[in-house]
Structure 1
Amino acid sequence: MRGRNFLICGLTGWCMEILFTSAGSLARHDGRLIGQTSLWMFPIYGMAACIGPVYAKIKKLPALLRGSIYTVGIFSFEYLTGSLLRRHHFCPWDYSSARANVNGLIRLDYAPLWLGAGLLFERILVHTDRLT
C-alpha cells in the first residue's frame, strides 16, 4: 500500500507541477504552454504519501486546519530537500528573486497552493485506501 501511495503521489505531483508551469507559460503569453518538472521532484512529491497517516490522526479537524498542517509539512520538506539538493548543485528550483522567499528554497506566497495540494493529496489517499 505504501509503495503504491508513494507512486500515486509522485505522479500526481509531477502532473500538478507540469500544469502549474504551463499556466505560468500562458501568463507570459507563450501559447506553447510548455510545462516542466525534474526527475528529482518525483520522490519529493511521492513523500506526500505521508499525508495518509497524518490524516488518520487529524481527520476530525476542519479542512482549513488540516490543510494548514499539511502546508507546514510541505514547506518543511521542501526546505529540507531543497537544501540537500542545493548542496550538491541539483536543486531544480530557486525562488531567490521572489519577494516572499526563504533562502530561495520556499515561497511563503505559495502557502494557499500548498494548502490546496495537501488537501488534494489527502482526498486521493483516502480514496485510494478505500479501494483496497
Structure 2
Amino acid sequence: MAEHDFRYSMLNPQHTLTECRTLAPGRYQVTGNGGSIHEGDQLLVTLKGSKSLYMRLNVEKVRHLINPPGQWVAVAKGPVFDELIIHEWKVNCDSCSTELTFEFSVESKLGAKAQKPAAAARIAELGWKAEGDKHYCRKCQAQPS
C-alpha cells in the first residue's frame, strides 16, 4: 500500500488528476496521469475550490488505460459529505501579531453555526492554540510566559 500525492501543484505537471467525481456518498471515480496506482493505495486529492485542503481516498479498483499512456481510472472510498463550502479566514497572534490566513471546510447543510468549531479545529491542525477569543502562534506557545 502506497500513498500518492495528487494535491494541486505546478511543480509536477506529469503527475496530475484529470477528474475526481462523486459516484455515491463516500465513493469517488478518479482519473489521473502518472504514478503507479494499485488497489489498496491511498490518494491525496485537493478539495475543489481550495488551495490547501485535501481529502484522503482509498483505492478499491484501478484500471490502467492504454491510450493515453500513463492514464488510469480508479474507484475509491473517502469521506462522506453532500456539499462542502470552503471558507478563508484570518487570525492574528495575540502575542506577536503574526497573521495566519487559513482555509477550512464546512458541510453546507450545517450552516453558519458550524463555522467557528470547524475554524478552531483547522487552527489547531496548523499548530496554533486558541484560548477563548485569543490565538497564539507556534513561536509564542514555545516561549515561557
More helix by share: 1
- Relative contact order, higher structure (CA 8 A, sep 6+): 1
Q: How high is the TM-score relative to the length of structure 1?
A: 0.27
More strand by share: 2
